[in-house]
Structure 1
Amino acid sequence: MTRPGSGGRIEVICGCMYSGKTEELIRRMRQVMIARQPCRIFTPRMDTRYSAAHIASHTGSQLEAVPITSVKQVLAAAEDVQVVALDEIHFLEDSPQAILDACQFLADQGLRVIVAGLDQNYRAEPFPGMMQLMAVAEQVDKLYAICVRCGAYATRSQRLINGDPAPREAETLVVGGLDLYEARCRQCYQQAP
């Protein structure tokens, strides 16, 4: 494995809702800070569930972050750092190709790029940007949650509307927490009608 300071790399942390993606990103960034490596953390401007200027896990852990809408803002702010972290990458307005190109560019410049986000939408379909990043990353960690129905490993994010699965034609990106989503295993997940 490449050491963080010896060259660029892309690390992907993915999984369903409540799998600990942001918690893992925070853990890695705390190590970076202890090592005194220049770094910057970015969070999508639309994700204001816990804080507009922090990445925050469902358990309450948080680190200061720069709110952005596009990876172009990351490229403009990554000149003086060794490590760049992007949380909830699926919420960015960019095309999957633009996200991939930006992360590849940063890694090619010698930066350690750590991204976290959902690997699937509420329809259990892959997010294209995350899928592409997983293919080129030096490290991919797919996390799982615990199914709220049966206790098995959960890999799906079930979106609910009034207790029922959200319809397929519903908007793909909806920011929410326990009020809208449940972690479910393959067997307990219900396909959107």
Structure 2
Amino acid sequence: MFLERDLSHRRPGGSIEVIAGSMFSGKTEELIRRMRRAQFARQKVEIFKAKIDIRYSETEVVSHDENSIPSTPVDNSAAVLLLSGGCEVVGIDEAQFFDKGLVDVCVRLADQGVRVIIAGLDMDFKGKPFGPMPELMAVADYVTKVHAICMRCGSVAQFSHRLSDNEKQVMLGEKNDYEPLCRRCYNTK
């Protein structure tokens, strides 16, 4: 039998944790791991994803390794703030797809005592800072930079190379559309 507990002691101060890196570096996998640990600790959690991200599921955050966790798809950052009332831990996947208001939302949640865990691409396929990620990394209490393995030489990869000629900054894709590359291979592609 589950007993109702007083959890008011759990909010000493919030924090912002950013997990950043290239495609196929394990960002979502790490976000799911941290969120599951919070659930195991019986913390009230909610995970959000951009509504446009329907690659594997419309209502779950899914890693490339096919691990998943239920999520709430939202149109914008304001919805994260609106729907996270009472949460102790808020997760946000693919933060690069959100508007710049996400930075203020995350700071506000952290200031209210919420642990905010964010995963996203730090650079787009051109190697440029992507969406609100640079600002999120600047205001974060903790930043974890994860890396993939270069598909051409086996070195540590930090770039997401797009395999098509599509020039749109936002293009949802998977292994057929992107490959992780190290700096040397990215610059000689």
Give me the TM-score of the superposition, normalised by structure 1.
Answer: 0.90
Name the residue aligned to 2:168. 171
Match of 1:90 among 96, 101, 108: 96
Name the SS for the 1:187 alignment partner.
Answer: helix
What is the Cα-based RMSD across aligned positions, in Å? Answer: 1.4
Name the residue aligned to 1:154. 157
Could you list the structure 1 runs, at least 4 aligned residues long, displaced by more than 3 angstroms after superposition. Answer: none
Shift of 1:6: 2.8
Could you tell me how far apart the structure 1 residues matched to 2:11 and 2:174 are? 35
Match of 1:141 among 144, 153, 158: 144
Check the 8 A contact 1:158/1:190 in 2, yes or no. no
Name the residue aligned to 1:58. 64
1:31 equivalent to 2:34? Answer: no
Give CA-to-partner distance per residue, 1:135-169, whole Å, 9 cap, x none: 110000000000000000000000011xxxx36xx
Percent of paired sites with the same residue? 45
Check the 8 A contact 1:123/1:191 in 2, yes or no. no
Could you tell me how far apart the structure 1 residues matched to 2:84 and 2:65 are? 29
Could you tell me how far apart the structure 1 residues matched to 2:96 and 2:131 are? 9
Could you tell me how far apart the structure 1 residues matched to 2:131 and 2:64 are? 25
The residue identity in structure 2 corresponding to 1:123 is K
Check the 8 A contact 1:45/1:52 in 2, yes or no. yes
The residue identity in structure 2 corresponding to 1:158 is H
Name the SS for the 1:32 alignment partner.
Answer: helix
Give me the TM-score of the superposition, normalised by structure 2.
Answer: 0.92
Could you tell me how far apart the structure 2 residues matched to 1:78 and 1:29 are? 14
Could you tell me how far apart the structure 2 residues matched to 1:83 and 1:110 are? 9
Give CA-to-partner distance per residue, 1:169-191, whole Å, 9 cap, x none: x1100000011100000000147
Name the residue aligned to 1:79. 85
The residue identity in structure 2 corresponding to 1:143 is V
Could you tell me how far apart the structure 1 residues matched to 2:21 and 2:64 are? 14
Residues matched between the structures, number: 180
Q: Which runs of 5+ in 2 are unaligned?
A: 1-9
Q: Which runs of 5+ in 1 are unaligned?
A: none
Could you tell me how far apart the structure 1 residues matched to 2:59 and 2:52 are? 11
Name the residue aligned to 1:49. 55
Could you tell me how far apart the structure 2 residues matched to 1:6 and 1:147 are? 41
